Chains A and B, each alone.
Chain A
Amino acid sequence: MRNVLTSEWIKLRSVSSTRSTLAVAASMIVLGAAWTWYVRGLAEERGSVQAAAPEEGFLPLLQICLGVLGVLAVTAERETGFLAVPRRRVLLLAKAAVVAGMAFAAAAGILVATHALSRLIAGDRSLGFEDAPLSALPAAALSATVVALAGLGLGAVTRSTAGGIASVVGVLFVLPGVVAYLPSPWNTRVGSLLLPNLAPQIAGERISRRLGDGLLPPAVAVAVLLGYGVLAVGAALVSITRRDV
């Protein structure tokens, strides 16, 4: 297993797509700073504003980038990889471990940097997000990591880069949009269980203006989030062991 982990780490770090997806993810820091600069200007005109915290507002950008990273990690596998490691479960679990590790490290670094830089720019002005709970940071990092694993699972099941990425977009952006228009209270009931809506519930914040507060207590939201990760890796395992390469 250790050899296979080393091998997967070499595979992930040696493709340019990893650098590109992480670079786009890191643009969150710049966008967050620009956003804070902008609302700081508004606050100086009006006295105070109710703006969203950049590490929460730009979280979907981080999530989609890491989701794509997860898809590419599995769809980039070729038959040479299966020849070197014919135990496909071991191959996939090592891949999932390396993707999750890299996704969590990248997400944590980017989120902390975004948070720190925006608070530095905000100073002691009242921008609306100075009271945002610190627990939002680990919640966001964990959710971005699970999205990366979801990408891995969807890439393995669809066995296609385009199909995998389209599915990640569906899970992150299309599904929540559709569910929001279900009749109340079903929109909130179903919406509380959706992957992108779990991070705010873990941090004890409302999901959106339309859905309001989620129904899940933080601990349950963490469990559901981890459940998504297990489900994604499980689906990938089934897909990769049942089919011919």
Chain B
Amino acid sequence: MPYPSLVGVIEVRELTKRYGGTTAVDGLSFRVRPGLVTGFLGPNGAGKSTTMRLILGLAAPTSGEALVNGVRYASLRRPLHEVGALLDATAVHGGRSAHDHLLALAASNGIGAARVAEVLARVGLSGVARKRIGGFSLGMKQRLGIAAALLGDPGVLLFDEPVNGLDPDGVRWIRELLRGLAAEGRTVLLSSHLMSEMALTADHLIVIGRGRLLADTSMADLVGGHASLEDAYLSLTASSVEYR
């Protein structure tokens, strides 16, 4: 890690991603800081997931760069120790058990089987650890994805719609988990379309529309004179909604 001041920081600079003639992310710049839950908001197709995939090296930017702890994700040798991510919880091999899935990920980063058992217990899946993932509900897959993100005890965490499919008990559990992780000084970037849930979880908000930055501000400042986060969000993104 080159600069201590960049530890636990996600930095996106002039990031652009085009697919053919479509611009998914358009000159986006922002910084995500440690110790807070940063909400990542925007209408469908705004580029939230693409931005996360660019940060995580799953897609290559057309121009600009995305850095984690001051370096590109792809240059990390044992990334799970620095960054944990849950993108698409259903993108896991259904023919493998939860334990084996996590064990394979852990082994690639030099993490032992004891830690696998630990994260499985933390997300409440110990009882089904030896069952095939193919039989899991969406909520169970979300928990498994969160377990994978926590494997290396990373300082930076990204979650794309982690609340989908969770029952009310699970929704509260993940809210407290995310707030707890931020309170420990970690950097947490969370995308969600559930405004009421976001209002309860996030401290800071980054709002994008059509791949561009609309707001990068604290929760209190964004809500400001509006009745709720939902009202504030809808008025901010009114001109950026693509699919209606």
A residues with CB within 8 A of B:
3-4, 6-8, 10-11, 14-17, 76, 78-87, 244-245
Contacts and interface: CB of A to CB of B under 8 A. Distances in A.
Contact of A4 (B108, B145, B148): B108
Contacts of B79: 83-84, 86
Contact of A7 (B56, B85, B107, B148): B107
A240 to B, nearest CB: 12
A217 to B, nearest CB: 43
B92 A78 contact: yes
Nearest to A82: B58
B100 interface: yes
A83 B106 CA distance: 11
Given A15-B93, A81-B105, 19 more contacts: A3-B110, A4-B108, A10-B100, A10-B104, A14-B97, A14-B101, A76-B93, A76-B95, A78-B91, A80-B91, A80-B105, A81-B108, A83-B85, A83-B87, A84-B79, A84-B80, A85-B108, A87-B77, A244-B60
Interface-centre pick from B56, B58, B108, B110 (highest chain A CB count, 10 A): B108
Contacts of B95: 15-17, 76
A182 B75 CA distance: 50
Contacts of A82: 57-58
B109 interface: yes
Given A11-B104, A14-B100, A17-B95, A80 B109 contact: no
B136 to A, nearest CB: 14
B9 interface: no
Chain A's interface: helix, strand, loop or mixed, by majority? helix
Contact of B56 (A3, A16, A81, A83): A83
A79 B91 CA distance: 7
Contacts of A85: 108
B100 A84 contact: no
B73 A86 contact: yes
17 contacts: A10-B100, A11-B96, A15-B95, A17-B95, A76-B93, A76-B95, A78-B91, A78-B92, A79-B88, A81-B104, A81-B105, A82-B58, A83-B85, A84-B79, A84-B109, A86-B73, A244-B59
Interface string B10-53: 00000000000000000000000000000000000000000001
B222 interface: no
A78 to B, nearest CB: 5
A9 B25 CA distance: 37
Contacts of B59: 244-245
Contact of B58 (A8, A76, A245): A245
B148 A80 contact: yes
B181 interface: no
A6 to B, nearest CB: 4
B128 interface: no
Nearest to B134: A16
Nearest to B148: A80
Given A79-B91, A86-B76, A244 B58 contact: yes
Contacts of B56: 83, 86
B62 to A, nearest CB: 11
B163 interface: no
A78 B77 CA distance: 19
Contacts of A245: 53, 58-59
A244 B88 CA distance: 15
B119 interface: no
A176 B111 CA distance: 47
Contacts of A6: 107-108
A87 B148 contact: no
Given A3-B110, A4-B108, A10-B107, A79 B97 contact: no
A244 B77 CA distance: 19
Interface in B123-146: 145
A8 B106 CA distance: 11
Contacts of B93: 15, 76, 78
Contacts of B92: 78, 80
Contacts of A78: 91-93
Contacts of B100: 10, 14
A14 B85 contact: no
A4 B110 CA distance: 9
Interface in B51-91: 53, 56-60, 73-77, 79-80, 85, 87-88, 91
